[in-house]
Amino acid sequence: MREIVFATNNKHKIEEVKAIIGERFILKSLDDIGCDVDIPETGNTFHENAMQKSRYVNLHYGLDCFGDDSGLIVESLNNEPGIYSARYSGSRDMEKNLSLVLYKMQGENNRNAAFITVISLIIDGEEYSFEGRIDGKITEEKLGDSGFGYDPIFIPSGYAKSFAQMSAEEKNQISHRAIAVKKLTDFLRSR
C-alpha cells in the first residue's frame, strides 16, 4: 500500500480525508513524519497556499504528499473570508470568525456562498492540482453542532440543513473537500 503525506495536523481534515480515501493508501500527517513547522500560507489564492504546503514537505522530507487550502467565500462580502477563512477575525478562534461573518451579513438579502478546496499533490516529482467547490447559502444563525469551521452557518444548495446538522458520512458525500479528494483519489488509483 502506498504511503502519502497530507500536509496538515488538523485532525478534522485528516478524519474527513481518511473516510473518503478509505484503505487504499496509508495517510500520514505532518506529526507522523516529525514535522512540527507551521507551514506558511502567504499565497494570494487557495492554489498558491496549497502548493506552499506540498512543496515544503516534498523539499524538506522528499516524500509524496499533498497539501490543501480551503475556505468560505461569500458573494456579498466580496468573496471574503476567502483565503483568510481560518483567521478572518484576526485570530484562529472559529467562534469569532463565525460571529464576524454573521455580523457582516446582518440584513443582507444576498446570502450566496461557496466552500472551495484546492489540493496540490506532488508525487514522483510531478505536481498536480484538484479543486472542489460546493455552492450554498449563509444562514442567519448557527445551526447544528457537528462538523467544524463554518459548517454551522452554511447550507449547501439543494439541502435544508447546514453542514453542522449533517452526519459526517452525509457531509463527506457532498462537501468541497470530498469533491477535491475524490478527484485526487481517482487520479491516484489511475496511476
pTM, two decimals, is: 0.91
Classify residue 42 by burial, with Cβ atoms within 10 Å: 0-12, 13-18, 19+. Answer: exposed
Q: How confident is the model at residue 11 (pLDDT cuts 50, 70, 90)?
A: confident
C-alpha atoms less than 13 angstroms from C-alpha of 63 in its C-beta half-sphere:
24
Q: What is the CATH number of domain 2-190?
A: 3.90.950.10
Asked whether 177 and 16 are in contact (CB, 8 A), the reply is yes
Nearest residue to 119 (alpha-carbon basis) of 107, 128, 108: 128
Contacts with 76 (C-beta within 8 Å, 6 or more apart), sequence order: 105, 108, 110, 111, 112
The domain spans of the chain are 2-190
pLDDT in tens, 164-185: 999 988 998 999 999 999 999 8
- Residue 172 has a pLDDT of 85
How far apart CA 128 and CA 4 sit, in angstroms, is: 14
Is 69 marked active-site?
yes
Catalytic, out of 36, 64, 68, 69: 69
Q: Tell me how far apart the terminal alpha carbons of the chain are, to the nearest angstrom.
A: 13
Nearest residue to 149 (alpha-carbon basis) of 46, 20, 16: 16
pLDDT in tens, 42-78: 999 999 999 999 999 999 999 999 999 999 999 999 9
Nearest residue to 154 (alpha-carbon basis) of 87, 81, 89, 92: 81
Which phi and psi angles does 41 have, rounded to 5°? -120, 85
